[in-house]
Amino acid sequence: MVRKLKSWLKKYRVGITLLLVIVAVIVCLGMFAGPKKSNHVVSVNVASGASVSAVANNLKKRGVIDSVSSFKIAVQANGGRIQAGIYDIPRGASAWRIATMLANGDVAKTTIVIPEGLTIKQIKQLLSDSVELNGSVNCDSGNNAPVCNLHDGDVFPDTYRVARGTSRLAVLDLARKKMVDVHNDFENKIRRMPSPLKNWNDVLTLASIVQKETPRVKEMPIVASVYLNRLNSGMRLQADPTVVYALTNGLGDMQGAPLLSGHLHIDSPYNTYRNSGLPPAPIANVGRDAIYAVLNPARTKFLFFVADGHGGHNFAKTYEEHVKNHEAWRKIKKSRK
């Protein structure tokens, strides 16, 4: 029997070899050739714990692959592992490429930009408005994680690249941890704080006012010097952004409403027109430039500043100079109206 089988194999070995080659070619074509129907990027959500068969059938149904078996072979060749997440399958991607993406967890990414100067309330609204993220910006009752008790000054404004579908709380926590790193970095470099600042909260609080007063990085050290000069001379800061913070209950945005002289009398510890010294805590979340400006203020004798009508400010040492600068600003506003 064995002799007959050997004889048969010897007789038909050329045909058998050719058949195996054809089968191998077919399998390879199935794994390395893209589907004919797939002519655009397809977003696929691979659920946690999904089986290879379930994923394969879904991909087949979506027109991403032509052959379920070829995809399964490609998955096995990649270690038999698939990772959960949202994937953007490129146009015409082969089963092999898709299997490799799923094995490596090459999920779709999204960019979340948290601008400098926003409050926690504004940042939460920004994240809530992002359709690329998932979940709530608020924690469940009883959750005592650090991200569940955020205050202004606790998160670092930056550009964050995360997987699409990442939870909003995870992004908030990422920004919180980044601020912890920034704090530690500055603490290691601070030799002494400018008078009369005593601690990190003082630095962040003044930096948040500077951040809200000017978008110009080059101007920040000068603005910081004005407020430090006022603090050291016993003058009240009289910073409009602190009044806005008090009026809006921590939102930090008048939403188009004007700030009127009557608003300056609001009874709040954040109102620097009524209270001396710094507010009790930051009024916004700040970037490195504002922090650096407070720790390295310009050496000036300026005590006043007002908008110059061109995105910057005019600074003055005396009240008389300030009145002239203020009058110039009024004329500019009147001409624009």
Q: How far apart are CA 56 and CA 65, in angstroms?
A: 8
Domain containing 289 equals 191-336
pLDDT score recorded for residue 26: 44
Query: Is residue 176 located within the same domain as residue 198?
Result: no
Query: Is residue 86 located within the same domain as residue 113?
Result: no
Query: Is residue 121 located within the same domain as residue 173?
Result: yes
Give the pair of three-digit tokens for residue 307.
């908008």
pLDDT band at 254 (very low <50, low <70, confident <90, very high): very high
Residue 8 resides in a domain: no
Residue 10 resides in a domain: no
pLDDT score recorded for residue 271: 98
Phi, psi for 109 (deg, rounded to 5): -110, 160
**CA 26 to mean position of chain CA atoms:** 46
pLDDT score recorded for residue 55: 97
DSSP string, 9-47: HHHHHHHHHHHHHHHHHHHHHHHHSPPSS--S-EEEEE-
Give the pair of three-digit tokens for residue 32.
């390395």
Residue 127 resides in a domain: yes
Final residue in a domain of this structure, among 187, 204, 224: 187
Query: Is residue 164 located within the same domain as residue 216?
Result: no
Cα separations (Å) of 251 from 29, 103, 177, 247, 310?
58, 44, 22, 9, 26
Q: Single out the residue of 64, 125, 68 nearest to residue 93, CA to CA.
A: 64
Q: What is the pLDDT of residues 37-49, one digit of tens each?
A: 555 799 999 999 9
- Report which of residues 170 and 309 the model is more confident about: 170
| pLDDT for residue 81 is more than 80 | yes
Instruction: Tell me the helices (H) and strands (E) count for the chain, helix number first.
Output: 11, 6
DSSP string, 40-98: S-EEEEE-TT--HHHHHHHHHHTTS-S-HHHHHHHHHHTTS----EEEEEPTT--HHHH
Enumerate residues 6+ apart whose C-beta is below 8 A from 57.
Answer: 68
Query: Structural domain tally of the chain?
Result: 3
pLDDT band at 90 (very low <50, low <70, confident <90, very high): very high
Residue 256 resides in a domain: yes
Residue 16 resides in a domain: no
Query: Is residue 153 located within the same domain as residue 248?
Result: no
3-state secondary structure at position 315:
strand
Q: How far apart are CA 298 and CA 301, in angstroms?
A: 9
| pLDDT for residue 100 is more than 80 | yes
pLDDT band at 142 (very low <50, low <70, confident <90, very high): confident
Give the pair of three-digit tokens for residue 143.
């959750």
Residue 243, sorted as left (phi over 0), alpha (psi -120 to 50) or beta, turns out to be: alpha
Q: What is the pLDDT of residues 194-246, one digit of tens each?
A: 999 999 999 999 999 999 999 999 999 999 999 999 999 999 999 999 999 99
Q: What is the pLDDT of residues 4-16, one digit of tens each?
A: 556 655 555 544 4
Can you give the CATH number for the domain in which 40 is found? 3.30.1490.480
Residue 217 resides in a domain: yes
Residue 11 resides in a domain: no
Query: Is residue 219 located within the same domain as residue 163?
Result: no
CA angle, 331 then 333 then 335, to 5°: 70
